[in-house]
Amino acid sequence: MVNSNNDILWIFSWPTPETIPSYVVGGIMPADYLNIQKIIFLENHDPKSFLLKFKPRLIIINKALHSKVTLLAQEARDLNIKIISVFDDWHFSYKKLFFEYNEIIANYSDAIVVKTANAANLVKKNIGLIPNIIHDCLRFDSQEPIRDIKYPFEICWFGMHTNHDTLEKGLNEIEKFDYECNIRIITDRHDLARETVKKFKLKKINLNLIKWNNLADKEIMKSDIVIIPYINDQKRSVKSHNRIIDSLNLGRLTIISKLALTKDFEEYCYLGDIGEGLKWVKENQQLAINMLTEGSKFVKNNYNIKKISNEWQKLINQTLK
């Protein structure tokens, strides 16, 4: 049993890790909870000097965002430093940009972590390694579930610019139905969001672009419904559940596309076409509220920071034995 985390480094490879949601909920928050030192490793850093300066027994490498992370993993292996590597967005449809680093880092690692069972199955199928599954944790304070759903619908979509194609998919599915909606779009790149939404001639749908910020939960809570459309491709198949669990934790009814990735939430969210989901909600409001209430309990019990951090501590202890 490890009594101290003083000789562990949790490593991020981006100058502003707090701006990357997966870094926050899958790294920064559990590192803070477990009192593990957080370090930024950039391309201009020398891997060997970096490791000799801190002399860790174990490093946890969050999603690699530049190629020098592969050299850091190699140096750690040569120095007999244990390695746990974390993989977000690891898919196998092409070797491009950050994804090509993953297999190299994984092969140097003593343990690897992915966020979902779906991602674990894909990693095992493609390269034969068996990952540990540690989910992202809840990033916002829990809120009571809504008790009624207003009409016109008050809807929210939130996500990074890399998911704007899914926003387009969701708007296409809503547009087929003659519903009045106010949709808040909370995202980091308004210029790209405008390019997406200007393709539509929306008659009964009002759109409001809101800049993503640390108080985004307050904006999400101004809506009754969160929509999370997914595109069924390799990239999305390994996404974590963080937007789903955040929405349920904030007490918002959640409508998400039906994929293998989302099947864990079929009892707590409407799964399927976004427009058909709104139709179902309008006709089955009390059933929807009941479903949300159970979903809120589910995520609070299974994705809270204490539970997720305990899973991390267990894996750390096992790796250092």
Order across the sheet with 205-211: list the strands: 205-211, 181-187, 153-158, 225-228, 253-256, 270-271
- Residue 165: count other Cβ atoms within 10 Å of its Cβ: 14
For the chain, percent of residues with pLDDT exceeding 70: 96
Mean pLDDT computed over every residue of the chain: 92
Residue 132 pairs in a beta bridge with 113
Backbone angles phi, psi at 187, to 5 degrees: -155, 170
The DSSP output letter for 53 is H
Q: Is the pLDDT of residue 1 over 50?
A: no
Domains and CATH numbers, the chain: 8-137+305-320 (3.40.50.2000), 153-302 (3.40.50.2000)
What 3-state class would DSSP assign to 13? coil
Q: Are 256 and 236 in contact (CB under 8 A)?
A: no
pLDDT at 208 over 90: yes
Cis peptide before 152 (omega within 30 of 0): yes
Rg for the chain, CA atoms, rounded: 21
Structure tokens belonging to residue 60: 């946890």
Residue-wise pLDDT for 93-117, tens only, equals 655 555 678 889 999 999 999 999 9
- Interatomic CA distance for residues 249 and 264, integer angstroms: 15
- pTM summary value: 0.90
Burial 4-31 (b: 16+ CB within 10 A, else e): ebeebbbbbbbeebeebbbbbbbbbbbb
Q: What is the pLDDT of residues 175-186, one digit of tens each?
A: 999 899 999 999
Strand 111-114 relative to strand 82-86: parallel, antiparallel, unpaired?
Answer: parallel
Query: How much is the pLDDT for 59?
Result: 98
What percent of the chain is modeled with pLDDT above 90?
A: 77
* CA distance readout (Å), 307 to 28, 79, 84, 133: 15, 32, 19, 13
**How many Å from the N-terminal Cα to the C-terminal Cα in the chain?**
8
Give helix then strand counts, H and E, for the chain.
14, 12
pLDDT of residue 99: 63
HSE (CB half, 13 Å, CA atoms) of 204?
12
